[in-house]
Amino acid sequence: MTGFTTPELPSYTSGAWNTPLLGDTIGDNFDRTVARHGERDALVDRAAGRRWTYTELAAEVDALAFGLLRAGIGKGDRVGIWAPNCAEWVFVQYATAKIGAILVNINPAYRSHELQYVLTQAGIRMLVAAPSFKTSDYAAMIGEVRGNCPDLEQVVLLGSPEWDELGESGRAALADDRTRLDAAQRDLSADDPINIQYTSGTTGFPKGATLSHHNILNNGFFVGELCHYTEQDKVCIPVPFYHCFGMVMGNLACTSHGATMVIPGPAFDPTQTLAAVAEERCTSLYGVPTMFI
């Protein structure tokens, strides 16, 4: 047959494992968990004294996702997140996944020159950031470099009127018609890029690694499988969300199994972490050896 070309399709290796790889997008997988475990706790933010069931978390995520669409953010656009661990980090993670925007994780310890490098190298269009954290004045650093970042069109500080407007505009639009959000979600493939994580940059500037729904969802899912997570589990996550340990092995392992994400605090604190484990009756605790010795 003349003129016929074989389409290039992704190929995945297989091995001695009975559980098949997931073919979902993150949004579809999340929605399935919400349908199964809607009234169970999904997220606990201990520092803020707030908690959400899966149904409540889905409402926050969908409102923000629609708000992002209304703000001109869509499939393939880069959205940066520069904040310590908090519930809003989770909202942004799943809202961007729902519409196919590529979440760019930014290390909370970055200084101005590192921030500028990532903003320009990744082509970030919208930056969602905490106003400050510890001794870092994020708002001031953003102001310092913004003029050197030609792709950066919008900066939204957590807790600001602009942040509130993102969620409220999406919530109001959803109340009328969610067709646009559903269409955006249907347009996605598990092989689409959805996350950029930066290396530590110990020998030079950090390097961005682009990851797909398939990459990080299966990473989180199989970590959860190996830990035997179910909807009965509560996972204490004191490790940073900007790293795969927090957002993938933590958050995605939980949401792919109906388990509860417990954020003990914005950064690791031994007392806060132990209190969270005891008072929330956590069944699993994440960390590295230097956090416990």
Per-residue confidence (pLDDT) for residue 47, from 0 to 100: 96
Q: Is the predicted pLDDT of residue 280 greater than 90, yes or no? A: yes
pTM: 0.94
Neighbours of 222 (CB within 10 A): 17
Does residue 233 surpass a pLDDT of 90? Answer: yes
Predicted confidence (pLDDT) at residue 3 exceeds the cutoff of 70: no
pLDDT digits 0-9 by tens, 141-191:
999 999 999 999 999 999 999 999 999 999 999 988 899 999 999 999 999
Is the pLDDT reported for residue 2 higher than 60?
Answer: no
Distances, alpha carbon 230 to alpha carbons 45, 144, 238, in Å: 20, 46, 20
- Copy the structure tokens of residue 217: 């969802």
**What number is the average pLDDT over the span 69-75?**
98
How many Cβ atoms sit within 10 Å of the Cβ of residue 45? 21
Range of lowest pLDDT (68-72, 190-194, 199-203): 199-203
pLDDT at res. 260:
99
Give the per-residue pLDDT at 199. Answer: 85
A 10 A CB-CB count for 102 gives 24
Q: Supply φ then ψ for residue 132, to 5 degrees.
A: -165, 165
Could you report the per-residue pLDDT of 42-58, keeping only the tens digit for each? 999 999 999 999 999 99
pLDDT reported for residue 203: 74
Q: Is the pLDDT of residue 273 over 90?
A: yes
The C-alpha atoms of residue 123 and residue 113 are separated, in whole angstroms, by: 15
184 neighbors 69 (Cβ within 8 angstroms): yes
Q: What's the pLDDT tens digit per position in 100-145?
A: 999 999 999 999 999 999 999 999 999 999 999 999 999 999 999 9
Structure-model confidence comparison of residues 1 and 51, the more confident one:
51
- Mean predicted confidence (pLDDT) in 80-89: 99
pLDDT score recorded for residue 206: 83
For the chain, the distance separating the N- and C-terminal CA atoms, rounded to the nearest angstrom, is 67
Q: Map out the domains of the chain with their CATH numbers.
A: 26-288 (3.40.50.12780)
What letter would DSSP give residue 39?
Answer: T
Task: Give the whole-angstrom CA distance, residue 39 versus residue 82.
Answer: 30
Burial label, 34 (beta-carbon count in 10 A; 0-12, 13-18, 19+): buried
**How many whole angstroms separate alpha carbon 104 and alpha carbon 114?**
14
Q: At what angle do helices 213-226 and 26-37 cross, to 10 degrees?
A: 40
Share of the chain above pLDDT 90, in %: 88
Mean pLDDT of 193-220: 91
Q: In terms of DSSP bridges, do strands 208-212 and 260-263 run parallel, antiparallel, or are they unpaired? A: unpaired
Q: Provide the token pair at 194.
A: 């959805």
* Residue 78 host element (H or E): strand 78-82
Strand partners, 102: 78
Sheet holding 154-157, edge to edge: 154-157, 124-129, 78-82, 102-105, 193-198, 208-212
Confidence of residue 18 (pLDDT cuts 50, 70, 90): confident
Mean per-residue pLDDT of the chain: 95
Distances (CA, A) of 257 to 88, 217, 240: 21, 11, 21
DSSP 242: T
What is the predicted pLDDT for the residue at 85?
99
In whole angstroms, what is the distance from residue 165 CA to residue 123 CA? 24
What are 33's strand-pairing partners? none
Q: What pLDDT score was predicted for residue 13?
A: 66
